[in-house]
A and B are shown apart, each in its own frame.
Chain A
């Protein structure tokens, strides 16, 4: 005989389960959710459903809530999921882990239980070699639980993020505040999109700053996207709202493999691999002193004109972007003559070095588009440490073992030519346009260093200088480089796309091993 009371009991238990789940889904309650929406922010759960392919999210730890290790007061009923929605789901069909901080629950503060949940995700991400996304909207560590010297046991979150670095892609999407030490989550992530107005990050929130130093500021003034995407370079992209931030996160991941042992997925394109680009002459002026917008050139070269720029508003004198060439995800490092003449400074070197390292870690080939008059010289940049910053770029381009293709459009001067993957940095193909100028320095500079005595002794020094300049100018000729086979070919600019695609394909089977070392001593 079936035991009816037991079956009814299970039904009741199941009802109770559903009630508990329903409660968790209400997050911090109606009032808090309204406040969240009033700030033009989505809730953690709305964000998660935007991030993942429909119906693929599996939540872990939904029934968790706040506890106190120190026996202090807790609010289990008011802390569903302990303020962080955690789980896994599919993005474009590929599995990704996600921790979405819930600002409606204790301001998304990071409590003991919540942190345990996120730790579990980090562990799984590393174990299963799958990317991790943080959707950040959090007041930071939950001081009620963290104040005092039990702090001595904390901090593993960043250690673990470092272990994940270069193994799986990490995205920290900034959708609200990310105060205090937790700002190192984006600090260690590979990609950090920021929502305008609502998001901020700072090592100390405004109240802490006031207490520590007396300075009066606000979280937004100190650490909004207007700071980090334009001035500090910590942010990668400023977007208008939560949906755009999550779309950027999905797109970033589409250019990368799930881990460092795989290749990024190819994306089919109708764009012809040998499409000629006849109007490049209109975009790139022949006068080598005149500026133009390299992004327009890149748009013409890439599959379907699609360019996904990283840090577009910071260090704009260099462009770093993901594009596809005949379906192959590719990182592009391109000079930008429109800004500072395309000359390199400390921020440009940092931006490029980091991007090259990211691409190399995840098997994304690199294309360098050179139109670089060199590194900026002078007292100001020396104070800023241009040598050690420039060294980072040299280091990154030397270490990169992914396929590398270099195209010299116009200028390729001095160390600028080196860091943009000149011959010495072992590009798999190095080609130049007929307009290319490759040299240690411009003719004017060279003449003033080589012939100062001759010029001074001449009857007409100014005319003599001009003559010397013309003579040196004649030695700056791409066909000389080609005649020594230092460049592989001089190409018709209209064929640039085809040449890049051929070269990338030719190097697709490249396997390069380095001398064993624990690690190099990277300039910082």
Chain B
């Protein structure tokens, strides 16, 4: 089980995966809007999206766990 964390503070613009979806290492799970950029949050491991812990439009802080991949 791996906690996927936001690398920097930003507005959570888009979630592009669903709970239960299979993902490969480095796949984009969601996109953060920050510092004038669309910054993908990617999964460090291959597996299944177990939980999504944020909502679109929410401001996430650096280091916050945004999803759990198993």
Please determine whether A340 and B36 come into contact, CB atoms closer than 8 angstroms. Answer: no
Q: Is A28 among interface residues, defined by CB-CB distance under 8 A?
A: no
Q: Contacts A343-B8, A343-B35, A376-B8 given: A291-B62 contact, CB under 8 Å?
A: no
The total number of A-B Cβ pairs within 8 Å is 48
Contact of B38 among A290, A345, A376 (CB under 8 A): A290
Pairwise interchain contact B37-A380, C-beta atoms closer than 8 A: no
> Would you list which residues of chain A between 368 and 425 have a CB under 8 Å from chain B?
373-374, 376, 378, 380-381, 411, 413
B-side contacts of A342, CB under 8 Å = 37
**Contact of A442 with B9 at beta-carbon distance under 8 Å, contacts A380-B61, A380-B62 already known:** no
Mask: chain B, 26-47; 1 = CB below 8 Å from A; 0 = not:
0000000011111110000000
Q: Give chain B residues whose Cβ lies under 8 Å from the Cβ of A442.
A: 36
Whether A340 contacts B35 in the complex (CB less than 8 A), given A378-B9, A380-B9, A380-B62, comes out as yes
* A343, B62: Cβ atoms closer than 8 Å: no
Q: Which residue of B lies closest to A413 (CB)?
A: B36
Q: Is the CB of B36 within 8 A of A289?
A: yes
A376 touches B9 (CB 8 A): yes
Q: Which of A339, A380, A381, A411 contacts B36 (CB 8 A)?
A: A411
19 CB-based A-B contacts, threshold 8 Å:
A291-B38, A291-B39, A291-B40, A337-B37, A339-B7, A340-B7, A340-B8, A340-B39, A341-B35, A341-B39, A343-B8, A343-B35, A343-B37, A373-B35, A373-B36, A373-B37, A378-B9, A411-B36, A413-B36
Name B residues whose Cβ lies closer than 8 Å to a Cβ of A. Answer: 7-9, 34-40, 61-63
Which residues of A are at the interface with B, using a C-beta cutoff of 8 A?
A: 288-291, 337, 339-343, 345, 373-374, 376, 378, 380-381, 411, 413, 442, 444
Q: A343-B34, A373-B37, A411-B36 are in contact. List 12 more A-B contacts (CB 8 A).
A: A291-B37, A339-B7, A340-B7, A340-B8, A341-B35, A343-B8, A345-B8, A374-B36, A380-B62, A380-B63, A381-B62, A442-B36
